[in-house]
Amino acid sequence: MDAIVEPTRITRDEDYYRLRREIEELYYDEAEHIDNRRFTEWLDMLHEDLRYFMPMRHNVKFGQHAEREDTREDEGISWFNEDKWTVTKRVEQILTGVHYAEEPLSRTSHLITNVQVLEATPSAAGAEEVRTSCRFLTYLNRVEYETYHFVGKRYDTLRRVDGDWKVLHRRIVLDQNVLQAKNLSTFF
């Protein structure tokens, strides 16, 4: 999933708003799990075939954004290009208490907004898979003086598994190309 192509807008009827509210609640629950360090519960919200991707961003000339601004999934360097196994191993490392970047643990607060359902298959009324977008602000504080803000967009594909939504694919796009943070150990 390299370039974001805006599909034809889904009809915003009662079914759309009901589905969007369900997705918003999922995202709020997810943020609550991460912020309260309930990482095991958060992992349960991820699909077994998860792809968790955050491209690096480049400053490019006008007109070259679509082709060159973001690194490509599975090509070259990115901040994250992980599957569920890798994300699980990162969680397990944090939970050992022997993780230099997370000792002491960071305090985080994830704010999610502008949630939209871009596509629903087969339809909003009986969706089994959806593509969504949202905006996020993640505040992170470590020790006495380290404070960081991560701002960006997320593009997710969610799939319903046994009645629950699971994150199948997450593309995280930071609105910065140089990170000021000393580490990138939080989840988005």
Question: Which residue in 111, 179, 188, 122 sits closest to 156, CA to CA?
Answer: 188
Q: Write down the domain spans for the chain.
A: 14-174
Q: Which H helix or E strand runs over 56?
A: none
* Average pLDDT of the residues in 43-63: 83
Residue spans of alpha helices (H) in the chain: 14-35, 39-43, 65-68, 84-95
Dump pLDDT digits (tens) for 96-135. 877 777 777 788 999 999 999 999 998 888 889 999 999 9
pLDDT at residue 2 is higher than 60: no
3-state secondary structure of 100: helix
Structure tokens at 34: 């991460």
14-174 maps to CATH 3.10.450.50: yes
pLDDT at residue 6 is higher than 70: no
DSSP state of 57: B
Other CB atoms within a 10 A radius of the CB of residue 84 amount to 17
Burial class (CB in 10 A: 0-12, 13-18, 19+), 134: middle
* Average pLDDT of the residues in 148-159: 95
The predicted model scores a pTM of: 0.86
Question: Residue 26 in contact with residue 48, Cβ under 8 Å?
Answer: no
How many CA atoms lie less than 13 Å away from 77 in the CB half-sphere? 3
Rounded CA-CA distance 85/172 in Å is 18
Instruction: Among 5-14, 55-64, 148-157, 172-181, name the most confident range.
Output: 148-157
